């Protein structure tokens, strides 16, 4: 037992072991994230083409109108899409709006202006 305590501990080995564990956890999180994206797209009726990274939304799923409640719903959907990795331009193209509209939604915290908190 004393012989083990007297040997110098190599910090590289300790860091490598910790890094390997972190890399494995990162891979698990990335896999879970991909599965979650697939579930979101399946449930929302949004079609994603993986190769082109194109987003298509049926007109029946688009929230059209200027009422605060409708705008808030639209902004919330855009928020989810943005967090799933789509750019503001991709979201704007799918919803037939200017990318500045999506940017405005993001700047306002994905909340409609008159919805309050």
Q: Is the pLDDT of residue 78 over 60?
A: yes
pLDDT for the residue 92: 92
Residue 47: strand pairing partners: 56
Q: What are the contacts of 88-97 at 24+ separation with CB within 8 A? A: 90/53, 90/54, 90/55, 91/55, 93/55, 94/55, 94/56, 94/57, 95/57, 95/62, 96/62
Distance of CA 96 to the CA centre of its chain: 21
Instruction: Indicate the range of 37-41, 44-48, 103-107 predicted with least confidence.
Output: 44-48
pLDDT digits (tens, 9 = 90+) for 18-42: 888 888 998 998 898 888 877 777 7
């Amino acid at each position: 037992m004393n012989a083990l305590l007297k040997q110098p501990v190599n910090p590289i080995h300790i860091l490598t072991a910790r890094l390997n564990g972190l890399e494995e956890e990162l891979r698990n999180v990335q896999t879970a994230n991909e599965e979650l994206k697939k579930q979101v797209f399946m449930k929302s009726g949004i079609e994603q083409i993986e190769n082109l990274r194109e987003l298509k939304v049926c007109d029946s799923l688009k929230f059209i109108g200027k009422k605060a409640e409708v705008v808030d719903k639209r902004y919330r959907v855009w928020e989810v899409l943005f967090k799933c990795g789509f750019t503001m331009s991709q979201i704007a193209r799918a919803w037939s709006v200017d990318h500045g509209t999506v940017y405005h939604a993001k700047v306002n915290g994905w909340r409609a202006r008159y919805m309050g908190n």
